[in-house]
Amino acid sequence: MIPVRGFDGARVAVLGLGRSGLSAARALRAGGAEVLVWDDNEAARAAAMAEGFAPVDLTRAGALEGAAALILSPGIPHLYPLPNPVVAAAWAVGVPVDNDIGLFFRSLATEDWEGFDSPPRVIAVTGSNGKSTTSALIHHVLSAAGRDSQLAGNIGRGVLDIDPPGEGGVVVLELSSYQTELARALTPDIAVFTNLSPDHLDRHGGPGGYFAAKRRLFAEGGPDRAIIGVDEDEGRFLANQMAEGAADDRVIRISAASKLTGPGWSVFARKGFLAEWRKGRQVASIDLRVIPGLPGAHNHQNACAAYAAARCLGIAPREIERAFHDFAGLPHRSQLVAEVGGVRFVNDSKATNAASAARALAAFGRIRWICGGLEKEGGLAELVPHLGNVAKAYVIGREAAAFALHLRDIPHEICTTMKAAVARAAAEAEPGDVVLLAPAAASFDQYDNFERRGEDFVAELDRLLEARGRAGS
């Protein structure tokens, strides 16, 4: 645990008692704060009470009087589409609003660091797509190289639940826009921006607010190194703002769409090969085509970002390449779950928007595509260039028929349920096909989250294969 510093003896309110909120409450208590906790959910309050916290209804008038801060869980709106009433009350009485990420950065460094020859480092990863895989891949490379590494944030453990890093330790954080937007302290040593596509627009008041939330990690974080994906205008803008000139190698540009040249530092992937360039010449390359855990151009972009982060910490290219080969990938993110009769079954349930689903469609050839769910703002236009890879679509979700209208003239079938979609896709798949779950939509019309949707895909596939096995025996 990272005890929160600066609140010893002070009253601090925590709103939202999910993973990050309860973790923040524990860390605040460990740092000597008097912690007031609240969640509208009775079960969440009961869990807090089991750990010795006494819930205080923060929605009551005057509940925040005398509080030194309000710590907000990431799922609670603080500005758009409307501020939570407790947040508005905090503004009214001048109580600073922060989150667990802000507490982490203000509390991480201690007096012990003065005795370290190599102080701990923090790598923070943000972006629309690929940040989970990139964060996990960085952590995997560091661990394989014998570095003390911990993975936390929007993946793995809560940031305040990790162990205080020791000599040369590295903390790898995946940070969402919800987390970067509100944190009052952001001081990573290395910051990574993967890419940007429309997402969470209602929460940020539009695309400008969404990008601004990501940009805070760089503009206010002041990292020593900035690794920036430049395949969209926003990334090119950010890289231009962070660099003092073309040769400024504090900014490392990455791309999975084009060759990057110039006197600076860049890492890019073309035709399946990763290349590192510095000062106008190539210094290393890796054949990504033969790495099973990193299929497709979107994963090649993730590989470029992770490679650049590892190189910033002095890890040799060949060490990175060896670790890449051992990377198994993450559940629900281009995860190969089975290969039967020459047909691959891939779970990319995390593809919850059009941009991430487009990357999945671009990664494979002849696809039996399971898609559909709760459509997000921004539409599905980004999918259109990749629909030629789809042999047939199998549409799930309560609004499957409406979703199918976006599929133009590609063959499709309204299945509604995952069970029906898996059965039909598997029955019609031929050797060389890929049965791909990449919904291009949120899961909340049928599932609690994208993980449950992906688990259902795997469970239905397992049931189907088991039934085939019994029929064949």
Residue 100 amino acid letter: D
Residue 130 annotated as part of some ligand binding site: yes
Residue 132 annotated as part of some ligand binding site: yes
Residue 231 amino acid letter: D
Radius of gyration of the chain (CA): 23
H or E element that contains 340: strand 335-340
Residue 255 annotated as part of some ligand binding site: no
Query: Token pair of 79, please?
Result: 């500005």
Are 71 and 28 in contact by the 8 Å Cβ rule? The answer is: yes
**Whole-angstrom distance, CA of residue 9 vs CA of residue 421:** 57
Query: Token pair of 393, please?
Result: 């679509």
Residue 20 annotated as part of some ligand binding site: no
Residue 334 annotated as part of some ligand binding site: no
**Whole-angstrom distance, CA of residue 203 vs CA of residue 75:** 10
Are 429 and 342 in contact by the 8 Å Cβ rule? The answer is: no
Query: Token pair of 107, please?
Result: 């509390």
**Whole-angstrom distance, CA of residue 340 vs CA of residue 383:** 27
C-beta contacts of 443-446 below 8 A and 24+ residues apart: 443/349, 443/352, 443/373, 443/374, 444/373, 444/374, 445/373, 445/374, 445/397, 445/398, 445/399, 446/373, 446/396, 446/397, 446/398, 446/418
Residues whose CB is less than 8 angstroms from the CB of residue 195 and which lie 6 or more positions away in sequence, other chains included? 127, 128, 129, 130, 229, 231, 232, 235, 301, 355
Query: Token pair of 436, please?
Result: 């791909």
Q: Annotated binding residues for ATP, as ranges?
A: 127-133
Q: Annotated binding residues, as ranges?
A: 127-133
